[in-house]
Structure 1
């Protein structure tokens, strides 16, 4: 005969049996208990779904805004690097011209090129 202490030991060693349902018929107490199939149990109301969609859209909009800001900052840095490189090339070109020509003539050509750039752009 099983004593009350022996039954307490069985329920304490098997967590699924501790639910108060007793021993499983097939003896596989390590498996979780099966429940009735309820296809509508996970459904939410229409209003809750609408609220969730609104929250999701707001989150997506915020993420997109943050991504756009990050991309703009990246493009600004890239443009700054390109401008620096272009200025450096111009400086080197004028330095080469100064080696061959007179300095005042080079300055005059710089001003003329600057005027033409402003007119063309």
Structure 2
């Protein structure tokens, strides 16, 4: 009786089986099969294109913001290194002066230079 009723899923042949094509006429079986040329297949509506370009512009804006933040952080680190080096050089210079001169005179010169720097900027 089970042979009359083909209600079991194993007995029903699948509709999505692979189609086996024979050999190609030109003999190039390794190439994929070609589809028909449809010139209007890639066309989209103006609304879709407009939303896509708007989305791309938003992504680009976000990218530029992120790049600017990264560059700003990089410049901040570079400036910190430069400031540290300048302070170290100045300290070494005053230490050299302290070897030759009296400590009070070196302090006086340091204060005077600091005032001059503040006046310049």
Task: Compute the TM-score of the two structures, normalised by the length of structure 2.
Answer: 0.77
Alpha-carbon distance change, 88 to 25 in structure 1, aligned in 2, over 3 angstroms: closer
- Equivalent residues, number: 104
Runs of 4 or more above 6 Å deviation: none
Task: Compute the TM-score of the two structures, normalised by the length of structure 1.
Answer: 0.77
Instruction: Structure 2 unaligned segments of length 5 or more: list them.
Output: 1-16
Question: How far apart, CA to CA, are the structure 2 residues paired with 1:24 and 1:47?
Answer: 44
Instruction: Structure 1 unaligned segments of length 5 or more: list them.
Output: 1-11
**Aligned residues: CA RMSD:** 2.1
Question: How far apart, CA to CA, are the structure 2 residues paired with 1:25 and 1:98?
Answer: 94
Cα deviation for residue 34 of structure 1 reads: 2.9
Alpha-carbon distance change, 102 to 39 in structure 1, aligned in 2, over 3 angstroms: same
Question: How far apart, CA to CA, are the structure 1 residues paired with 2:25 and 2:34?
Answer: 13
